[in-house]
Amino acid sequence: MYSRFLKRIIDILICIILLPILILLYATFGLLIKLEDGGPVLYKADRIGRDSKSFKMYKFRSMKVNAPTLLNADGSTYNAQDDPRVTKAGKFLRETSMDETPQILNVLKGDMSIIGPRASLSSVIDSYKSDEIDKMKVRPGITGYSQAYFRNGLSNRKKRLTDAWYANNVSFKLDVKIFFKTFITVLKKDDIYTNNIKNKEIK
């Protein structure tokens, strides 16, 4: 009952409440992003959601225009504190997770949920193993179990397994815990960066 109907209703209500805040953030961060390099405010990323369907995920742009995509050997996104692709405004947005807030629009469209697994890169969908693919049973979230409790501190394999576990154990109680844990994790700034640029293999 919760995962099929109530979760979606709660998502819509929360997003409607948050829309004025998103408009204010767009005006503020949009100005900072534009002043730094004149590029677009939003970044639209190709992602895979529920039932492995593709969609465009919105984020505040945190990288320089036309920055190359870098992946780690395990298929995860490269993410380092001294990444030269990241703008000054983008570094702040990433460290505070404010770059994720435009995904409120994705939630309203039905592509995402407030709470759910991390949205997967379209390019790595074929690399999922049989015990990881259950992640695709539910909508991806702005935040989720792995982000709230581990942020970027898990290997890609463990993130996928954690997301699959969440998809098979969705409940209102679990979502409430994840929601409040997310704020604690963001404030503590733990495990923001996956990579050490000197010793992490990328491809």
The full set of domain ranges for the chain reads: 2-188
DSSP characters over 29-82: HHHHHHHHH---SEEEEEEE-GGG-EEEEEEE--B-TTPPP-BBTTSPBP-BTT
pTM: 0.84
pLDDT of the residue at 194? 59
Structure tokens at 145: 């179990």
Report phi then psi at 12, rounded to 5.
-65, -45
pLDDT of the residue at 44? 93
Q: pLDDT under 70 in the chain at which residues?
A: 74-76, 189-203
pLDDT of the residue at 198? 39
Identify the bridge partners of residue 80 per DSSP, sorted by sequence position.
Answer: 195
Residue 93, SS3? helix
pLDDT of the residue at 97? 85
d(CA 48, CA 192): 23
pLDDT of the residue at 75? 67
Percentages helix, strand, coil for the chain (3-state, rounded to 5) are 50, 15, 35
